[in-house]
Amino acid sequence: MKTIRLEEPGRLVLASTDPPAAPGAGEVLVRVRRIGVCGTDIHAFHGDQPFFSYPRILGHELGVEVVQMGDASGGLKAGDLCSVEPYINCGSCIACRRDKPNCCVSLQTLGVHIDGGMREEIVVPRRKLHVSRALTLDQLALVETLGIGCHAVERAGVESGEIVLIIGAGPIGLAVTQFAKEAGARIIVLDVNQKRLDFCQERLGVPFVINANGQDVLDALRTITGGNLPTVVFDATGNARSMMRAFDYTAHGGRIVFVGLVQSEVTFDDPNFHRRELTVLSSRNARPYNFTHIILAIESGRIDTTPWITHRSQFAEAVAEFPKWTRPETGVIKAMIEL
């Protein structure tokens, strides 16, 4: 079967690999129909993705079609369209026992720790498939990206009327924006890319944006908040300097949520941290019910996925197109690969 494999940083190849074995008990063979390209894939391409080894088949944002069940269907049938929850957890560690499979002690994420979905077919656990008989394949492939934002907003406990700052207007920051908006927050987005800030205002209805290249961030935040600063700050940049600056942007008694991941230490000034009595949270992946929530929200029209996909490629052309998607000047929000 046709497979795209990342052999080493900067080198994707289109290869022919053996098809997967027949699904066993609790497993389902699916045909991959859509693959979303995300920041994790781009970091892996550049060689700076944590917890990663080469060669690797990328792809964890998947819209798939059921081909064959290994045993009792559990409500699935051949031809059903599903989103894949790509976090393969053990089910027995302390995190799994406490309903936190997203941070399982031995977590294996498709396309990161183990081979993912940039291939024609893959076998996945039945429990990791989320079916919808209303969503398109494009929408199903977007669910995992949206799940990162959904879980982060859940972690923060965002309340209606709170002023929320989202640092970074890439796909993860946009996903956070989507669910902070659903929670009723007043949203500010901070970035250095004016095109992405324009996208936030024009397509997502964000009332306030700040370009860090052209404005004093603290002054702008104080003006917007009447001097109070945001009570919740999400950093979706994966940039250590940005993550450390978040401590200065947060109101007294506020929360900071690190959604982006960086391969370095993050430090802060303890007196400033204590004086404000800040709460610092990490947010990793998403939980199963986040997928259910998102699918229902898209089906009901509460979440509009129309603005998300800005670039598209057929599978055979993706190796040539992928390097272009890693460059900011191409204006990619979300690239989608079709099979």
276 contacts 254 by C-beta, under 8 angstroms: yes
The answer to whether residues 30 and 88 belong to one domain is yes
Check whether residue 70 and residue 155 sit in a common domain.
no
Give yes or no: residues 33 and 83 share one domain. Answer: yes
pLDDT number for residue 88:
97
222 within domain boundaries: yes
Strand partners, 123: 29
42: nearest Cα among 325, 336, 329, 284: 325
Q: Is residue 179 part of a domain?
A: yes
Give the CATH number for residue 180. Answer: 3.40.50.720
Please tell me whether residues 29 and 116 are part of one structural domain.
yes
Task: Give the per-residue pLDDT at 330.
Answer: 87
- The answer as to whether 38 is a domain residue is yes
Residues 118 and 184 in one domain: no
154 Cβ contact list (under 8 Å, min separation 6): 179, 290
Instruction: Answer yes or no: is 194 within a domain.
Output: yes
pLDDT at 339: 95
Closest among 172, 170, 130 to 150, alpha carbons compared: 172
Element (H, E) at 313: strand 309-314
Residues contacting 27, CB < 8 A, separation 6+: 69, 70, 123, 124, 125, 126
Task: State the angle between helix axes of 217-225 and 240-249 in degrees (0 to 180), rounded to the nearest 10.
Answer: 40
Parent domain of 275:
149-282
Q: Is residue 159 part of a domain?
A: yes
pTM: 0.93
Residues 219 and 159 reside in one and the same domain: yes
Looking at the structure, do residues 61 and 95 belong to the same domain, yes or no? Answer: yes
Same-domain pairing of 201 and 254: yes
The answer to whether residues 48 and 124 belong to one domain is: yes
Look at residue 117 in the predicted model and tell me its pLDDT: 97
- Whether residue 297 lies inside any domain: the answer is no
How many domains, the chain?
Answer: 2
Q: Are residues 127 and 177 in the same domain?
A: no
Question: In this structure, what are the phi and psi dihedrals at residue 12, rounded to the nearest 5 degrees?
Answer: -95, 145
The helix/strand/coil state of 11 is: strand
Bridge-partner residues for 57, per DSSP? none
Q: Is 333 inside a domain boundary?
A: yes
Residue 83 has phi, psi (to 5 degrees) of -95, 145
User: pLDDT means per 10 residues in the chain (339 residues)?
Assistant: 96 94 94 95 87 92 96 86 98 97 97 96 97 97 97 97 96 95 96 94 95 94 97 96 97 97 92 97 96 96 92 96 91 94
Amino acid in the structure at residue 127: R
Residues 50 and 89 in one domain: yes
Asked if 241 and 192 sit in the same domain, the reply is yes
- Indicate whether 64 belongs to any domain: yes
CATH of the domain at 42: 3.90.180.10
Residue 1 pLDDT? 95
